[in-house]
Amino acid sequence: MAEFKTDIEIARAAKKKPIMEIGAKLGIPAEHLLPYGHDKAKISAEFIQSKRGGKDGKLILVTAINPTPAGEGKTTTTVGLGDGLNRIGKKAITCIREASLGPNFGVKGGAAGGGLAQVVPMEDMNLHFTGDFHAITTAHNLLSALIDNHIYWGNELGIDTRRVAWRRVMDMNDRALREIVVSLGGVANGYPREGGFDITVASEVMAILCLANDLKDLEKRLGDIIVAYRRDKSPVYARDLKADGAMAVLLKDALQPNLVQTLENNPAFVHGGPFANIAHGCNSVMATTTALKLADYVVTEAGFGADLGAEKFFDIKCRKAGLKPAATVIVATVRALKMNGGVKKEDLGKENVEAVKEGCANLGRHIENVKQFGVPAVVAINHFYSDTDAEIQAVKDFVASMGRKRSCAVTGPRVRPASRNWRIRSWRWPKPARRSSRRSTRIRCRCSRRSIPS
């Protein structure tokens, strides 16, 4: 068995270009890049405003089957597809979310892709990055403090302390803080009441920042937050506490998208990170819409499976931002399909074609869900070196049985672990609804987290 380099070893060996050079490839002048070191920068609001009204490129959404501990490789495929499009001469930008420290130090781990399909600087992205999450945490907790301070100084708005809906947040998993009692310690500390902490990526401020079009829109949306109710159950808004302006000021830099690069020195926007099970699970509207003005293709992703993140992408982000995706990629792995077919995690390395066929029912449901939105769908099989030809063929046959014969791609290396022939094979865009044909495109890219021989 060949030895494998870890994701962090690959990322640390990356030959990064200066971020100003990456920005120049997109036509972003140096004066409109706000550098955070040499390898990451924010894009100025003035430049973003100057690009509005221009022609949009094509938007590609990457989603997946239901998440399992076996892994699907959604971000890996997203980055690999963006690199592949650039490799064949297309101008493409990858748009993904920022990583939360909670999952980073938990079971899930980082969120910068894997193997040779990563966004760098990986360590910075998975830790504090450009401080966006800290700004969101501070703005959220400012509102929390204003609520308690208002109650302490007479409660002019008549807030019912039993019906304060606004909790506090921190960007870390800490179950001991989920339910707490605040304002203990006597008269000077206010009126005791039940409270608690959520994780920052579950904050409404996070969702608002990722849906805002500009600073003015951000301030309005912040003012619309319902923070509590009165005894007559009428709502109290953040603007009633005069918190909206102060929160917007704290978020003025966090609102600007972050520019970084992939291992192949292609541009990537990494901005925002709302959880898909709490909010809409997509990167920011400002990052996506700006990328569409600068590239032929924008490859983005939505959290969790197609039944959650992709549907929220279509129902919320696309409707709010006026986006129209040109295609959807549904990522699946043989390992995850076998787990859906009843195989235990420790037995996933053994060939089990029947379990793959059983698990394909999950894939089929996601294909049907995406078809309801009228967007062409491609199934991408994220190939692990342990997958056998028979298992891969079983997935292809299942996709073909659903009337999508030309809509299945295998990503990663060939089955032989020692091979360095990285590519996406047999890729064809499916026929979109109400159109007669779509020219096929073959894409070469580097993919697959756990299939990288050193």
Q: What is the pLDDT of residues 104-156, one digit of tens each?
A: 888 777 788 888 999 999 999 999 999 999 999 999 999 999 999 999 999 99
Query: Which of the residue ranges 82-86, 192-196, 337-341, 437-441 would you say has the lowest mean pLDDT?
Result: 437-441
C-alpha 178/C-alpha 173 separation (Å) is: 9
What is the pLDDT at residue 70? 65
Q: Are strands 267-270 and 92-96 parallel, antiparallel or unpaired?
A: parallel
pLDDT tens for 152-177 read 999 999 999 999 999 999 999 999 99
Closest CA to 65 of 293, 447, 377: 377
Element (DSSP H or E) covering residue 20? helix 19-25
The pLDDT-based confidence of 420 (bands split at 50, 70, 90) is very low
Q: Are the C-beta atoms of residues 245 and 251 closer than 8 Å to each other? A: no
pLDDT tens for 381-406 read 998 888 999 999 999 999 999 875 55
C-alpha 83/C-alpha 98 separation (Å) is: 19
Distance from CA of residue 405 to its chain's centroid? 29
As a whole number, the mean pLDDT across the chain is 88
pLDDT tens for 265-302 read 999 999 999 988 889 999 999 999 999 999 999 999 99
